[in-house]
Chain A
């Protein structure tokens, strides 16, 4: 698509300057000075007149040789009218800057594409083969179509598609979270653990009550936990278990003082988004009488606003070991071995508090690069108040560890949103973790 330049427009109106000069000289020979007064763009007229051999200069006089053939004017006319023009003529006009290539505006391109799509201006098979971009019998949907709203007209012209036969691609990549989860799964499986899964939406009973968290415990506050509006209540499990849990909360069954309050089954029915995967462990304990080793890696939820430090979802690694002969040192041993296999050489244990474990510990691993100890979650031995009502007579070692924290530390990431929220494709492509 071409358009006349300002100069082109002027010539189309007034004629080409070299032809006008030749005309003038044909009437009478005249000096350069005289001619310059009559002809605009005189230097152009002189240069092109001589070049086209229309005139010559002798002793400061302009001598006529022949008339111009108006060819360029005709070409300009055609461009102006949008008619087709041969390549040589186009080039000549382009060279003289009488026309310029018009970069089609988005609308026009889209319009053109549209006519192509609807078949009006559909290129021949030959055309299609010669142009790689549209080497399909399909309809390309382009940014222009979306931006201009012209896609609306596509409906009219869309035709069924022939599926191409071949596909070429380069390999994609796994998300770092997947890589790390795979690694952790492997460690636990090699340590003899069976993998578990459980529901994201959980009853307060399994998320809190079965874990001996009193119903007025601050962790159950609206502020930390997502409660559900739809659906809002769960069915409670087997009555026998519910009664035992209730008794434990109210007066400690026959082993503990209990919390000493009146336990409500209505509160236990309230649905929440699980705040830890320990709910999955609790469900498993109700199913088994032990011994056994189980782990679960899954998404958990906390009612937080989103910023660089907080996301309402993260991944927890839960594990339990049910065995007659295990004790505190075994708990520390499992944690130490797990982190060693994950690549952390130094680990230490701090006293901690969780309503459902006693002893409670916080494992911390040492990051040499930063000379820093990092807390990675919680662990402990389930209280008898937890295990008894679920029918377990053995000690149960348990832990709930963070998945994201060690990855962030390893990669030096400051912003937790990097994981689930932003999915920066450049970062994901570049990042490696072992």
Chain B
């Protein structure tokens, strides 16, 4: 989740309108940016992943400007040629194949602009850039270097330069080990023989993407002309990121200039600020939104969301990353129309159908409740200690997670009795006798299944008290089976979790898919769960 912080004053300047609490709190979020915090001087909004263009303060203000109607039509951006060339060598292909560049002239880097630029860069890196893996941005003082520029991949020891915020020269390998950014992002280049680098005419290093820029081209507040490089593994994302940056800087008064990118004989110019055209089917809009609307109104709504509309075609701005299908335009039309202005259509009642198994589930639960048991509900996730060791069992054949964040949740439970014992162990300060049950799911491995697992429904009940008698739980079981009309038979069983001579297998007549066990919990097991009162339990696997 990306949250951006904006100075209220700066936002007002960019939007060109005074913005009261009400607008900030109620109106602006309806564009699709929930308010995170409203403070005296600043305001924070959450930006959804489909709108990286709103990660920049300028892009955010641009969206607000048309949404609030301060400006009727969105601004159109253009780039003139800078005459600068960047050569892309084949060596980058297997490392970081894509690059797009631009030049920004005559920008005044005020505190607001610098702050916003840094935030935009950081947020794009985190979201669209997938922590710099997919996209990374470098911004340079173009006055410090000479064109043409070269983008190539070199051996780590081959090139040395002074990285940003350091005093000494390091080679690329050393930067990954010593520079804080190098350490942080080294994993992106793991296993690569060559690392990407951007050089100028004289071999001076502008950038070692996606890690760090050179100290040489460091941007300070007195710099007016910038060179921007965006590199990455996804061409579309690289171009979008560049477009977001240059249009933001243009909103701050900078002039956008393009760079010629030469890849062998292939030549292109970046940034590409052309609007893409998309056809919009009016009947599609009307069918989905069911509002009284004509083409002219749709045009107004589209403009409110920053789109152009010409000759029946929607003009999609070059900084919008989210328009894949005309449904995306329909949503923006709905947002512009205002979700609050749609009258919900109340559905009529009908006759639906519950799962067949729910009847059995309800019957079992009701029976247990009648028999005096409190229903409990537990997590399906547990760990090997609870599931096996504490029960006196050896771990075998269970569903194990790969990346758990907590040692409490490493496997899926196979049985319910451990869950019930946990409940009893959490309730030692509560009144006894304690009679609890759970009818819940467990996950078992099953090679024949599509997912390699099967979900199973198990009923388990436990009684804990000062004095317990095995006969009582057998009697409960008997009553339950009578209520459910299930024929069963007990057979003496030896099981490490139960006391000898106080444990039986439950065999269900005519249903080999069902089975169970009943007994007095072994005192060692009780100790493992630090339960002091004698406890007995049963567990029945239900066939679904």
Q: Chain A interface (Cβ within 8 Å of chain B)?
A: 133, 136, 138-143, 145-147, 149, 151, 154-155, 158-164, 167, 169-175, 177-178, 182, 185, 188-197, 199-203, 216, 218, 222-223, 226-235, 237, 252, 255-261, 271, 273, 293, 295, 299, 301, 303-306, 311-313, 327-330, 332-337, 348-353, 355, 358-361, 381, 383-385, 395, 419-426, 428-429
Contacts and interface: CB of A to CB of B under 8 A. Distances in A.
A419 B379 CA distance: 9
Interface residues on chain B, size class: 35 or more
A425 B430 contact: yes
Contacts of B9: none
B347 A199 contact: no
B137 to A, nearest CB: 18
A423 B377 contact: yes
Interface stretch (B10-18, B138-146, B204-212, B351-359): B351-359
Interface string B374-411: 11111111000000000000000011111111101100
B339 A172 contact: no
B332 to A, nearest CB: 9
A190 B471 CA distance: 44
The 10 closest A-B pairs by CB, nearest first: A192-B350, A231-B452, A169-B372, A353-B48, A351-B32, A332-B344, A333-B345, A189-B352, A158-B501, A141-B534
Given A172-B373, A188-B352, A257-B325, A303 B403 contact: yes
Contact of B500 (A155, A231, A237, A295): A155
Interface string B453-489: 1110000000000111111101110110000000000
Most B-side CB within 10 Å, residue of A136, A182, A228: A228
B156 interface: no
A421 B127 contact: no
Given A143-B532, A328-B289, A352-B48, A383 B427 contact: no
Contacts of B225: none
B101 to A, nearest CB: 21
Contact of B472 (A167, A202, A216, A428): A167
Contacts of A170: 372
A133 B325 contact: no
Interface string B408-442: 11001000000000010011001100111100010
B195 to A, nearest CB: 22
A352 B48 CA distance: 8
A172 B353 CA distance: 28
Nearest to A175: B375
Contacts of A359: 330-331, 334-335
A46 B472 CA distance: 60
Interface stretch (B161-169, B214-222, B248-256, B363-371): B363-371
Contacts of A420: 377-379
A425 B452 contact: no
B48 A423 contact: no
Nearest to A190: B349
Contacts of A312: 379, 381, 405-406, 409
A428 B471 contact: no
Given A229-B402, A328-B342, A172 B290 contact: no
A234 B402 contact: no
B146 to A, nearest CB: 35
A99 to B, nearest CB: 29
Interface stretch (B36-44, B55-63, B175-183, B443-451): B443-451
B19 to A, nearest CB: 19
A56 B417 CA distance: 75
Most B-side CB within 10 Å, residue of A141, A203, A228, A306: A141
B274 interface: no
Contacts of A164: 469, 471-472, 475
A141 B48 contact: no
A384 B325 contact: yes
B400 A229 contact: yes
Contact of A330 (B130, B345, B435, B436): B345
A352 B412 CA distance: 33
B74 interface: no
A225 to B, nearest CB: 8
B24 interface: no
Contact of A138 (B49, B344, B471, B499): B471
Contact of B467 (A133, A159, A182): A133
Given A138-B471, A358-B330, A359-B334, A191 B405 contact: no
Contact of A233 (B373, B452, B455): B452
A173 B369 contact: yes
Contacts of A385: 324-325
B339 A350 contact: yes
B78 interface: no
B445 A167 contact: no
Contacts of B377: 175, 177-178, 419-420, 423
B523 interface: yes
Nearest to A325: B287
Most B-side CB within 10 Å, residue of A138, A146, A178: A146
Given A169-B372, A348-B340, A395 B472 contact: no
Nearest to B469: A138
Given A138-B471, A328-B342, A350-B339, A260 B236 contact: yes
Contact of B403 (A190, A227, A256, A332): A227
A331 B371 CA distance: 43
Given A353-B51, A383-B327, 11 more contacts: A147-B532, A161-B470, A174-B365, A201-B452, A329-B342, A335-B344, A337-B347, A348-B340, A353-B50, A358-B330, A425-B430
B379 A163 contact: no
A146 B287 contact: no
B68 interface: no
B31 interface: yes
A171 B372 contact: yes
A383 B31 CA distance: 20
B134 interface: yes
Contact of A218 (B49, B472, B534): B49
B47 to A, nearest CB: 9
Contacts of B348: 192
A328 B430 contact: no
A195 B375 contact: no
B502 interface: yes
A226 B399 CA distance: 12
Nearest to A426: B430
Contacts of A348: 340
B427 to A, nearest CB: 5
A293 B365 CA distance: 28
30 contacts: A141-B520, A143-B532, A143-B533, A161-B470, A163-B474, A169-B371, A169-B372, A172-B374, A192-B347, A192-B351, A193-B352, A197-B355, A200-B443, A218-B127, A226-B401, A230-B399, A231-B445, A233-B452, A259-B324, A301-B380, A304-B406, A306-B409, A312-B406, A337-B347, A349-B339, A350-B29, A350-B339, A358-B328, A381-B327, A383-B325
